[in-house]
Amino acid sequence: MSDLKNLRDLTLPELEELAVKLDEPISRAQQLFSRLYRPLPNSFCQMHNISKKFLAKLNEVSFIGEMKLQQKEMSRDGTTKYAFILTDGNIIESVLIPSNGRNTLCISSQSGCAMGCKFCLTSTMGFKRNLQPSEIVGQVLFIANELKSNKNNYINNIVFMGMGEPLANYDNTLKAINILQDEKGLGFSDRKITVSTCGITPKIMELAKISGVNIAISLHAVDEETRTEIMPINKKYPLQDLLSCCSELSANQQRQILIEYILFKGINDSEADATKLAEALEGFNCKINLIPYNEHPALPYQQSTPEVASKFMDILCKAGHLTIIRHSRGSDISAACGQLASKEK
């Protein structure tokens, strides 16, 4: 099967190219693309409204990939974590977070991660490989289908905040976004998709130029030394360059940039740190999410106290910044921010 194309790796234009190569009209590809996602077929024999001649040709050069669930865990707070085993044995995790009748799905873009953030369990896995578009979109498809079958419900928002750095897998992430957004695919709007990055500045600007999805910046410190210590990527893409990138985005984007700032006890949570952050983001069109750190025995960092977090937020708010404290969900099943780490070989 290695020589066959997974049809769910292809965007609509790529599927149209394949149809032309198979001497079929482009309209066949458009019909097929829509059928790949609504409702979900797992084989060609389930595509009753597609030309049998076209399906026979496709069967010789392609297949329809699907995700295989390894484990599903439910948190006390209603959060659900899904572990999917890939064809090569690697495992990735996705997290469904219900809130006030709405569902946010956190998806992975890589198996493992190469960014080396010192506070993140995923980084302890090391980097396994990039996910294909079908594996990124497949997480959404599987869980959306389950929601529809069991609860007559659906996914409201998608966040690329699971395993891996989406912009380090830029091409496949972009293809996945195109499939998710295509009206013949899954039809998610820009406003319903958020891509989170540790700060790969060239790719941030590239994505912003061609897509209107929301962009979230994992900042976590506002001095070069501290950020480099907890986020080694800062050596390659320094804080000041990242802030300049955010400033340009803020000036050019109508929607707010999301700034994510995890609070670590005694490292980045002082009143002086809050003041520095307020000054660094002055004039930015942004929203700041303060995130209490999710502690783990394998890592040395500690969570800031609620009192410190509240004071930190007050300083930002008084400086005119829209700020909230975002309490992570699913910590009892290791599904909270920074806790995703599969146990594959």
Task: Tell me how far apart the alpha carbons of residues 271 and 145 are, in angstroms, rounded to a whole number.
Answer: 46
Is 93 labeled as catalytic in the residue annotation?
yes
Q: State whether residue 38 is helix, strand or coil.
A: coil
Query: At CA 224, angle to CA 284 and CA 220, rounded to 5?
Result: 60
The CA-atom distances, in angstroms, between 327 and each of 90, 121, 182, 239 are 29, 18, 32, 25
Cis amide bond preceding 166, omega within 30: no
Is 282 labeled as catalytic in the residue annotation?
no
Quote the DSSP letter at residue 332: G
> Helices H, strands E: what count in the chain?
10, 14
Task: Tell me how far apart the alpha carbons of residues 28 and 7 are, in angstroms, rounded to a whole number.
Answer: 14
Candidate list 16, 24, 93, 135, residue with the active-site label: 93
Using the structure block, give the residue that is written with the tokens 């929607």.
255
Q: At what angle do helices 52-61 and 26-37 cross, to 10 degrees?
A: 80
Task: Tell me how far apart the alpha carbons of residues 35 and 38 are, in angstroms, rounded to a whole number.
Answer: 5
Cα-to-chain-centroid distance, residue 248: 23
Task: Tell me how far apart the alpha carbons of residues 315 and 308 are, in angstroms, rounded to a whole number.
Answer: 11
Task: Tell me how far apart the alpha carbons of residues 276 and 205 are, in angstroms, rounded to a whole number.
Answer: 24
Task: Tell me how far apart the alpha carbons of residues 15 and 25 are, in angstroms, rounded to a whole number.
Answer: 11
Q: State whether residue 77 is helix, strand or coil.
A: coil
Locate all alpha helices (DSSP H) within the chain, ordered by sequence: 12-21, 26-37, 52-61, 133-151, 170-181, 201-210, 224-230, 239-252, 271-280, 306-318
Task: Tell me how far apart the alpha carbons of residues 219 and 231 are, in angstroms, rounded to a whole number.
Answer: 9
Candidate list 106, 198, 245, 337, residue with the active-site label: 337
The residues annotated with a catalytic role in the active site are 93, 337
